[in-house]
Structure 1
Amino acid sequence: MAQHITRRWARLGAVVGAGAMLVALAGCSGAASSTDSGSTDTDAALKEDVTLTWWTWSDSTQEQADAISKVYPNVTFDVVKLENPDAAVTKLQNAIKAGKGAPDLMPVEYQTLPQLALGDALADLTPYGLGDYADAFTASTWNAVNVQDELVGMPMDSGPMVMIYNKDLYDKAGITEAPATWDDFAAASAAIHAYDPEAYIANSGDAGFFTSMIWASGGQPFKTEGENITIDLQDEGSKKFADFWNARLHAGELSGVPTWSDEWSKALTQDKLGTLMMGSWMISGMNDYGTLGKWRVAQIPSWDGQPASAENGGSALTVTSQSANKAAAAGILKYLSEGEGRELINANGFPSTIADLENPEFLDFAYESYGGQPANQQGALSAESVLKGWQYLPYQGYANNVFTDSVGKALGSDGDLNAALVEWQETLVEFGNEQGFSVNK
């Protein structure tokens, strides 16, 4: 099994820009009726001559499309490469609003699925038999593709969170084991900064990191039922993590370098940033950050030492509501859900399928960057401990974008993170109500 990843693709699962906000709500979009024949026979559809338009931001999609065409020679793909997930979402929403121009297939980040589903942009895949694959996928990714009682995509990669840490730096600071609890993490944080005042256990993080940490802390700040939304960024899990991260921030133990910046890469390479807490898609991406063998992978800390994790990033492949070839497109999703088709997907991300997460070849792969550690075992373990019940907002892209105006500002100025969460909540409530949702009413 291939052990590499397009990191830019995966990491963009954490942040979506302003262009990903809602264009229209469910029931009032400009979506036109598809010219699809209405047949749900995916096998028959794949035997007919058909061209499927596939929007993507991934460099690997054309290669995947070419491989699929060898299996289904009657299917031709028109792959359209867009800049990033934000650009894809904005372009799709504009097509839905115009009533024409949407593709047949498009990847959508898990956090953005509710937004597009409520905007009538995605087809329900249940009539095409894709619901039969429920037991093949991890609970968290399958939950993500089921929105408002509709199956709106098929999981591609996944991002159960892990802790990637610099064992060399930890050893020099006197830390002999990876922190299992947040108390352990606090002690390790102080020890690293005391050993080297220019070194930090982690950076302060971004919107994707912060929401994932709230999730892993048991928080469920976003609840959506139809157009009724409840936002509580002072629930127990949200406040618990904010209090803890506030303490690290005010102790001067968190680096201010932005994730994915050149400064961030330099800090990792030069042993000035000791820990990454990210989706498991990052496991295969550490060869670029300093001496091979200095890194290790463990579970993220929890409050009581028992496994408790969250997802961070990842995408589903969807069929749009405007597709005139829904049965054929759904047939492609079936192919990519198992066997050789699933291998195409797994070559560029961390698996979302249970069988692959249990595959000894995958689990026992020894990574040079981790000194021969079979690090995928930690990702697979994390996938089993993702806490249930999490929901994203139907305008999560907007939420992540304005995060910098409140929580992000506090992270950069030693502010009060709980006060910043309240400010973020006020912004999200106001925006949601302006968009026609009923928020906190």
Structure 2
Amino acid sequence: MKKKALLAAVAAAALVAALAACSSSGGGGTSTSSKATNCTNKIVVKSAPVVTVWAWYPNMAKVVDNFNNGHKDVQVCWTNVGQGGDEYNKVQTAISAGKGLPDVVMLEADHLTAYEIQGALVDISKYGADSVKSNFSAGAWKDVSQGSSVYAAPVDGGPMALIYRTDVFKKYGITTPPTTWAEYAADAAKVKAAGGPAFGDLGANVPAVQMALQIQKGATPFQYDLSDPKKLTIKLNDQASKDVLDYWAGLVKAKEIGTQDQFTTDYISGVVNGKYATYVSAAWAPGYLTGAGVGKGASSGVWAVAPLPQWDTANPVSVNWGGSAFAVTSQATNKANAAKVALGLYADPASLADGWKNQIIFPLNQGVLTSQEFIDNKSEFFSGQTANKDVYIPAENAYKGFTYSPITVYYYAQLQAETAKINAGKITGSQAADELQANIVKYAQGQGFTVTQ
């Protein structure tokens, strides 16, 4: 599940020491974690070794109980230290202090590289990760891997799609959802000309969406390989990136879409009251929207979902927003036991079923994605539409994975700032891309990276 998060960027002075730490992650240690205090949950088998976990999924209490009740060899001591920035700030503080991390931590896929380079995460391919590789799509596995090394066990993802209001489409004569971004722009102009609502929204606070759509157009923002940790390729102002930013800037200038920050009370109020005809989002969105009060009252029975519009229908590209995984930290007391938890927590059928049936997660496990119950599920939020079969499963299976950089968080912050300028009419998309490139290159060089462009 995607949450807004900011954490301290990697310090250049710590780079060499952090990389050295990556090679010291042995499997030793005592069998019971000395950090297993203040557990939120009940330890079922008192004699078993305990693994500490930080995680924020809404149904973690049930998931942890499922795990503990099903294991006599190891138990989980779970704590929710917050989500997004709250958790990441605690993670970074503990990394810098060299103590304070749990054995296993829940992280979003786009944050993994920033911790890998600091030597804070363990390569769990040494502890059986490859045995579950076939449970996931190639893209899901790439997001948690560096070459043959695996730094987390995937759990949920965010294949992107176009959520739309059927009542608005019907009122303004849009008979089918747009299949291309050109059609999306044409529909936006049509609704605007007829005095209708904003066709969508360009929230500055969702930079991951902008990055995903640029990648969909053919951009490769970053190239990075942990085996050569000081080298970073940055291409943020290539033609594909400029085209995408100019596209959205054009819709903003024409006042055909909104510019409200998402995940806010005002934005949700607008969604409920029909202020936006579409929502470019991910497979976890129905759960988030339902939890925020969307789909009730006047906004019930009006939602549908379609595949994400493409820049080039001859070369369709599936992209992702969000998704989380369980990583073993280098501070884990017993790394083999921690890996057993990371690979097994939220991997049992009962937990996965609870997750998707209550719209808490979109699971990445192929055992779920290929199950007839999941495939044929009629979404309550989408008025009985078989959204998994029609949209989300094909999108997930077609996803090829992203390459994230060690400075993703700083990049997101700067992309957010540039998008705010676009929304304020101060800058074009192309100008924003050029400014972003110059800023990120300068920052990366200041952090000790050798940058190629």
TM-score (norm 2): 0.86
Question: Does the 8 Å CA contact 2:310/2:317 hold for their aligned counterparts?
Answer: yes
User: How many equivalent pairs are there?
Assistant: 422
1:309-320 mapped onto 2 (5 Å cutoff)? 309-320=318-329
Partner in structure 1 of residue 335 of structure 2: 326
Partner in structure 2 of residue 250 of structure 1: 253
**Alignment CA distance shift 1:162-1:414 (3 Å):** farther
Which of the residues 276, 298, 301 maps onto 2:306?
298
Which of the residues 407, 424, 432 maps onto 2:436?
424
2:265 is equivalent to residue 262 of structure 1: yes
CA distance in 2, matches of 1:373, 1:250: 34
Amino acid at match of 2:371: N
Question: Does the 8 Å CA contact 1:39/1:327 hold for their aligned counterparts?
Answer: no
Question: Does the 8 Å CA contact 2:355/2:362 hold for their aligned counterparts?
Answer: no
User: C-alpha offsets along residues 147-177 of structure 1, whole Å, 9 cap, x if unaligned?
Assistant: 2542000101000001100111011111100
After TM superposition, give the deviation of residue 297 of structure 1 in Å.
0.4
CA distance in 2, matches of 1:323, 1:229: 29
Partner in structure 2 of residue 4 of structure 1: none
2:79 is equivalent to residue 80 of structure 1: yes
**Alignment CA distance shift 1:363-1:130 (3 Å):** same
> In percent, how many aligned pairs have the same letter?
28
After TM superposition, give the deviation of residue 402 of structure 1 in Å.
2.6
CA distance in 2, matches of 1:136, 1:247: 42
User: C-alpha offsets along residues 129-150 of structure 1, whole Å, 9 cap, x if unaligned?
Assistant: 1112222102211100002542
CA distance in 1, matches of 2:11, 2:49: 30
After TM superposition, give the deviation of residue 414 of structure 1 in Å.
5.7
Which of the residues 272, 277, 284 maps onto 1:274?
277
Amino acid at match of 1:401: A
Amino acid at match of 2:451: V
Q: Which region of structure 1 is more displaced relative to structure 2, 153-162 or 418-427?
A: 418-427
Partner of 1:122, secondary structure, is coil
2:27 is equivalent to residue 21 of structure 1: no
Question: Does the 8 Å CA contact 2:109/2:324 hold for their aligned counterparts?
Answer: yes
**Alignment CA distance shift 1:39-1:262 (3 Å):** closer
CA distance in 1, matches of 2:406, 2:308: 27
Amino acid at match of 2:308: I
2:87 is equivalent to residue 99 of structure 1: no
Q: Which region of structure 1 is more displaced relative to structure 2, 375-384 or 109-118?
A: 375-384
Partner in structure 1 of residue 89 of structure 2: 90
**Alignment CA distance shift 1:86-1:239 (3 Å):** same
Partner in structure 2 of residue 405 of structure 1: 417
Question: Does the 8 Å CA contact 1:181/1:304 hold for their aligned counterparts?
Answer: yes
Question: Does the 8 Å CA contact 1:189/1:201 hold for their aligned counterparts?
Answer: yes
Q: What are structure 1's unaligned runs of at least 5 residues? A: 1-9, 41-45
Partner of 2:101, secondary structure, is coil
Amino acid at match of 2:10: L
Question: Does the 8 Å CA contact 1:231/1:429 hold for their aligned counterparts?
Answer: yes
1:179-198 mapped onto 2 (5 Å cutoff)? 179-197=178-196
Partner in structure 2 of residue 394 of structure 1: 406
CA distance in 2, matches of 1:316, 1:229: 24
Amino acid at match of 1:332: V
CA distance in 2, matches of 1:308, 1:392: 17
After TM superposition, give the deviation of residue 74 of structure 1 in Å.
5.0
TM-score (norm 1): 0.88
**Alignment CA distance shift 1:345-1:171 (3 Å):** closer
Question: Does the 8 Å CA contact 1:113/1:145 hold for their aligned counterparts?
Answer: yes
Question: Does the 8 Å CA contact 1:220/1:389 hold for their aligned counterparts?
Answer: no
Partner of 2:116, secondary structure, is helix
Q: Name the Cα RMSD after superposition.
A: 2.5
